[in-house]
Amino acid sequence: MYDVIIAGCGPTGAMLAAELRLHEVRVLVLEQETEPVSFVRLVGLHMRSLELMAMRGLLARILEHGRQRPAGGFFAGIPKPAPEGLDSAHAYLVGIPQPVIVQLLEEHAIELGAQVRRGCAVTDVAQDDDGVTVVLADGEQLRSRYLVGCDGARSTVRKVLGVGFPGEPARTETLMGELEAGVPQEEIAAKVAEIQQTQQRFWLRPAREGTYSVVVPAAGVSDRAEPPTLEDFRQQLRAIAGTDFGVHSPRWLSRFGDATRLAERYRVGRVLLAGDAAHIHPPTGGQGLNLGVQDAFNLGWKLAAQVRGWAPETLLDTYQAERHPVAAEVLDNTRAQMELQSTEPGARALRRLLTELMNFDEVNRYLIEKIAAIGIRYDFGEGPELLGRRLRDIDVKQGRLYDLLHRGRGLLLDRTERLTVGGWSDRVDQLADPGAALDVPCVLLRPDGHVAWIGDDQQELDEHLSRWFGEPAG
């Protein structure tokens, strides 16, 4: 029997497997595809995801394969620069091919000891008091203590559980692909600039090796399981731009809609949902992959604590309590962004107004922090403003704070040099550093970097250690 089976080895499933392996949880990842995806769609890693990668020592590896870009201009594509002094040591965006980030995360999980089996489609799930039975397409049955569905928007796990997926179906659809073009780049750039005055869901941008990333509105909403054709692209380019730019030789072609849905529950007994299995939304703002990876980071240490036997009674339930509202906010901001990209006169007027408002630093900063997920504050009760927020990567006497979080454990950062984690030392590390770049006496960090307690009293600290890390050893 495995401790945890994960359905789906996309970025969410791979990240979750790695987080569980940090705590020596026996993990099996089942991926229905026999080979990794072949198309090279670029995705963006926002500030919070970059912070999480730094916390696990992955950021340098990712930066080798990605391209840094300024952290601005991605809310509804409104071209405003990022304000100065964003609250992150990683205040930039990293563009990286999706197959590359998936491969890096999968390799990371395997290096930590996770097992990955490809060509294994989950068809049924049953759970009892002792565990979960997972049935594969070939009839094989596997047992685990817990199952996490990271199997995408059409999640079999979610459907078998009977979890509702309310929201709105797609009203518009957009074609996206990588193609070669038959006209000079200067001509393409001039025409695109003209079209984008009124049509935001349209671009041809140089991609790689003489190809262009092409985005153009589709003629209508169709079955997303059916990939578009080259002729679909040519037809829509001619309809909107008056020319098809001589596009040819596609590397890959796909389509996306603006369907927006959120699972009613993230947990049913021993089965949980994460990533696109729990929420879908348009890709506007580039938040989807980031949201899923951040789900995995929130869930991993909590599920590991449950498996290892030290989790407080309600710890696993905080996964939904914390992440469901975050997803709801992402769905709302993507709805708003899609409206701002409409060609209707009212939407265009609203876009002009918001463009003016974003000249105010506070407005621009708020929207960037929302997209980049560095403004999230979980509800940990009454306390200072920092409570429930993630702590940025600050200077400490041993170097950088995030370097101390590579093992996925909690951390007490103590500027008083008087406190101790005592019987929780098997789960929580400790650093006494009176010179730490922090304006409070002490902080207790969860493994995901969120501040669980602020203070200088040992009894209060012990209470919060028990709340998040269970009973002390011995």
Whether 102 maps to a domain, the answer reads yes
Same domain for 133 and 14, yes or no, is yes
Contact 134, 123 (CB under 8 A): no
Whether 380 maps to a domain, the answer reads no
Using the 3D structure, point to which of 238, 256, 274 is the last residue of a domain: 256
Class of residue 379 by CB neighbours under 10 A (exposed 0-12, middle 13-18, buried 19+): exposed
pLDDT of amino acid 35: 83
pTM of the predicted structure, to 2 decimals: 0.94
Whether 313 maps to a domain, the answer reads yes
Mean pLDDT of 459-474: 96
pLDDT of amino acid 39: 61
The structural domain count of the chain equals 3
pLDDT of amino acid 225: 66
With a pLDDT cut of 70, the percent of the chain lying above it is 99
pLDDT of amino acid 36: 75
Contact 147, 159 (CB under 8 A): no
Mean pLDDT of 115-127: 97
pLDDT digits (tens, 9 = 90+) for 70-110: 998 889 989 999 999 999 999 999 999 889 999 999 999 99
pLDDT of amino acid 365: 96
Mean pLDDT of 34-56: 87
The backbone torsions φ and ψ at residue 191, rounded to the nearest 5 degrees and listed phi first, read -70, -40
Task: Evaluate if residue 246 carries a pLDDT over 90.
Answer: yes
What gap in Å lies between CA 23 and CA 6, rounded to an integer?
16
- Parent domain of 367: 2-167+261-372
Mean pLDDT of 384-409: 96
Domain harbouring 463, CATH code: 3.40.30.120
Whether 381 maps to a domain, the answer reads no
Mean pLDDT of 4-10: 97
pLDDT of amino acid 90: 96
Mean pLDDT of 261-289: 96
Lowest mean pLDDT among 16-20, 106-110, 210-214: 210-214
pLDDT digits (tens, 9 = 90+) for 312-338: 999 999 999 999 999 999 999 999 999
Using the 3D structure, point to which of 256, 285, 302 is the last residue of a domain: 256
Averaged confidence pLDDT in the chain: 94
Task: Evaluate if residue 223 carries a pLDDT over 70.
Answer: no
pLDDT of amino acid 224: 65
pLDDT of amino acid 284: 87
Residue of 275, 61, 273 lying closest to 158 (CA atoms): 273
Domain harbouring 265, CATH code: 3.50.50.60
Same domain for 120 and 144, yes or no, is yes
pLDDT of amino acid 385: 94
